[in-house]
Amino acid sequence: MAFKGWKTTIEAGDHVIAYLTRESMSAILIKRDEVYNCRFGQFPHNDMIGKKFGQKMISHTGKGFMYLLHPTPELWTMVLPHRTQILYLPDISFISSFLDLKPGTRMIESGTGSGSFSHSIARTIAPTGKLFTFEYHKERADRAKQEFEEHGLGDLIQIEHRDVCKNGFGLEDEVHAVFLDLPAPWEAIGSAKKAFKTRRSGKICCFSPCIEQVTKTVSALNEHGFVDITMYECLSRPHDVKGYRILTVDDAIRQAKEKEAERERVRQENFLKRKRERDGDTTGEADTSSGTPTPKMDTVEEQAEMVPVSKTTTETHGHTSFLTFATFLPVQAKDESEANSV
Ligand SMILES: C[S@@+](CC[C@H](N)C(=O)[O-])C[C@H]1O[C@@H](n2cnc3c(N)ncnc32)[C@H](O)[C@@H]1O
């Protein structure tokens, strides 16, 4: 089942993203006779087979439902098993465009981690590109390799279990771009430089949470002759659009007056009640209501016009790291530099 491709009908062996709510999604590998259980009910895999991606599926009890979504790198990032910190969509999209990734790009990534970024890269560089990804944690490397193969990305991604800071990438004149999400990216920059295609310019990005790491990375990039060194921080601020009842100024004044009248009515009532208690008056409740009934507190709001309003959430999503970009300049061929110096 290819994350990089597209199909319409669900078959056994496919991955489906079960969309329960905006906050609740999970990946399912479709296997005959298995059942997906969740708080919305039971969903037999056999009933998913033959359905169209995107279709709504009702649970066995008929009480719950979910949507059967086609897997994409974007959805995978939201549901993948976290073995490490991962990159999220705001950073992924920013990095992909600043590294100029496109079909046919050959690039290096390290570490592979949970494979969140690898999935996006693979889809972007398909069908003719190549991702060389390196991970020094053996179990993570093995798990990622298995996932890439299960997701139909095995031909695009070559994963190697390797410490790139100690042993480099082992590649020369090979790639257009490099992405480093490592604790000490500066230790891998010399080897990354060798991996760039020598006769064209290339782009590197180092992803680091601390400014001290950025400082060391920038020094290493300078030492190795990279140019155009620029650092960004990419933050996303989602907007929640909802209908709100918006009061005009006149309505707001009317509402304030009504609220004050209501408060005054309650004050009067309490005053009379206390007075009666003091006087030992047991003749019953005095009628404190005026001739016209006081409108309910929210009457004005209920009558106000419903207007769509965009509100930002207080939380800022995304893994806040610094993104240091730089450009590798092509090595001038010997004969060219000689010709230029004449
Ligand atoms: C934060 S994770 C990468 C997450 C990944 N970008 C993603 O989106 O899923 C960093 C990974 O780098 C690996 N790593 C750290 N130092 C390394 C080294 N010297 N060589 C190779 N991998 C390394 C760690 O094992 C870890 O899995």
Is the residue at 247 inside a domain? Answer: no
Are 160 and 191 members of one domain?
yes
Per the listing, tokens 């965009």 go with 310
Are 161 and 54 members of one domain?
no
Confidence of residue 303 (pLDDT cuts 50, 70, 90): confident
Are 211 and 335 members of one domain?
yes
Are 230 and 91 members of one domain?
yes
User: How is residue 327 annotated by DSSP?
Assistant: E
Are 86 and 104 members of one domain?
yes
Nearest CA to ligand 1 atom 20: 163
Q: Facing residues of 28 across strands?
A: 16
Backbone angles phi, psi at 87, to 5 degrees: -85, 145
Please state whether beta strands 239-246 and 56-58 pair in parallel, antiparallel, or not at all (unpaired).
unpaired
Type and span of the H or E element at 274: helix 249-279
- At 122 the pLDDT is 96
Averaged pLDDT for residues 159-171: 98
Averaged pLDDT for residues 274-301: 64
| CB-based pocket (< 6 A), ligand 1 | 84-87, 110-111, 113-117, 134-137, 140, 163-165, 181-183
At 309, list the tokens.
């309003």
CA distance 70 to 2: 10
- At 267 the pLDDT is 92
Query: Distance from the CA of 182 to the center of ligand 1, in angstroms?
Result: 5
Atom of ligand 1 nearest to the CA of 92: 8
Are 86 and 168 members of one domain?
yes
Mutate which of 109, 181, 319 for ligand 1 pocket (most atoms within 8 A of beta carbon): 181
Query: Distance from the CA of 27 to the center of ligand 1, in angstroms?
Result: 23
Note down the domain range covering 131.
76-236+319-341
Q: pLDDT tens digit string along 25-56?
A: 999 999 999 999 998 999 999 999 999 999 99
Sorted by sequence, the CB contacts under 8 Å of residue 335 that are 6+ apart come out as none
Query: Are 241 and 308 spatial neighbours (Cβ–Cβ below 8 Å)?
Result: yes
Q: Facing residues of 16 across strands?
A: 28
Are 124 and 227 members of one domain?
yes
Is the residue at 254 inside a domain? Answer: no
Which amino acid, one-letter code, is at 5? G
Query: Distance from the CA of 135 to the center of ligand 1, in angstroms?
Result: 6
Is 277 marked as a binding-site residue?
Answer: no
Q: pLDDT tens digit string along 68-122?
A: 999 999 999 999 999 999 999 999 999 999 999 999 999 999 999 999 999 999 9
Is the residue at 262 inside a domain? Answer: no
Q: How many domains does the chain have?
A: 2
- Omega cis (within 30) before 185: no
**Is 304 in a helix, a strand, or coil?**
coil
Nearest CA to ligand 1 atom 16: 182
Is the residue at 157 inside a domain? Answer: yes
Atom of ligand 1 nearest to the CA of 83: 27
Distance of CA 117 to the CA centre of its chain: 11
CA distance 17 to 97: 26
Q: Is the dihedral of CA 257, 259, 262, 264 positive or negative?
A: negative
